[in-house]
Amino acid sequence: MPELPSVEIYKNYFNKTSLNQVITDLKILNPEILMDISSKEIRKFLLGQIFINSKRYGKFLFAELNNGMHLVMHFGMTGYLDFYQNQAPSHIRMLISFKNGFLAFDDVRKFGRIGLTQDPDFFIEQNKLGPDALEINLKSFINIFKHRKGAIKPLLMNQHIIAGLGNLYVDETLYQSGLHPLTPAYELKKNDWKNLYHQMKKVLIVAIQHGDKPNKMPSDFLLSHRYPGAKCSGGEEIEIIKVGGRTTYLCPSRQVLR
DNA sequence: CGTGGCTCCTGGCGGC
DNA sequence: TGCCGCCAGGAGCCAC
A47, amino acid identity: L
Q: Is the CB of A228 under 7 A from strand B?
A: no
pLDDT band at A216 (very low <50, low <70, confident <90, very high): confident
E-assigned strand segments in chain A: 25-28, 51-57, 60-65, 70-74, 79-84, 92-98, 101-107, 113-117, 239-243, 246-250
Measured in angstroms, what separates residue A187's CA from nucleotide B12's C1'? 40
Q: How many helices and strands, by DSSP H and E, does chain A display?
A: 7, 10
Tell me which nucleotides of strand B come within 7 A of a protein CB.
1-6, 8-11
**Closest residue by Cα to the C1' atom of nucleotide B3?**
A244
pLDDT band at A258 (very low <50, low <70, confident <90, very high): confident
- Strand B proximal residues, A:44-63, Cβ < 7 Å: none
Q: What are phi and psi of A163, to 5 degrees?
A: -100, 125
Q: Is the CB of A84 under 7 A from strand B?
A: no
What does the pLDDT look like over A159-183, one tens digit per residue? 999 999 999 999 999 999 999 999 9
Separation of alpha carbons A165 and A98, rounded Å: 33
In this prediction, residue A155 carries a pLDDT of 97
**Closest residue by Cα to the C1' atom of nucleotide C12?**
A111
In this prediction, residue A170 carries a pLDDT of 97
Q: Is the CB of A13 under 7 A from strand C?
A: no
**Closest residue by Cα to the C1' atom of nucleotide B6?**
A245
What does the pLDDT look like over A47-73, one tens digit per residue? 999 999 999 999 999 999 999 999 999
- In percent, how much of chain A has pLDDT > 90? 91
In this prediction, residue A190 carries a pLDDT of 95
What does the pLDDT look like over A114-155, one tens digit per residue? 999 999 999 999 999 999 999 999 999 999 998 899 999 999
Among the listed ranges A52-56, A222-226, A249-253, which one has the minimum average pLDDT value?
A: A222-226
In this prediction, residue A1 carries a pLDDT of 57
Q: Is the CB of A245 under 7 A from strand B?
A: yes
Non-local (6+) Cβ contacts of A57 within 8 A are: A120, A124, A129, A132, A163
Shortest CA to C1' contact from A160: nucleotide: C11
- For residue A184, is pLDDT > 70? yes
* Greater model confidence, A231 or A1: A231
Q: Is the CB of A3 under 7 A from strand C?
A: yes
- In percent, how much of chain A has pLDDT > 70? 100
In this prediction, residue A228 carries a pLDDT of 87
Q: What is the largest CA-CA distance in chain A?
A: 59
Measured in angstroms, what separates residue A157's CA from nucleotide C12's C1'? 14
- Strand C proximal residues, A:51-90, Cβ < 7 Å: 58-59, 74, 76-77
pLDDT band at A91 (very low <50, low <70, confident <90, very high): very high
- Strand C proximal residues, A:191-250, Cβ < 7 Å: 212, 214, 245-247
pLDDT band at A17 (very low <50, low <70, confident <90, very high): very high
Q: pLDDT averaged over chain A?
A: 96
Non-local (6+) Cβ contacts of A235 within 8 A are: none
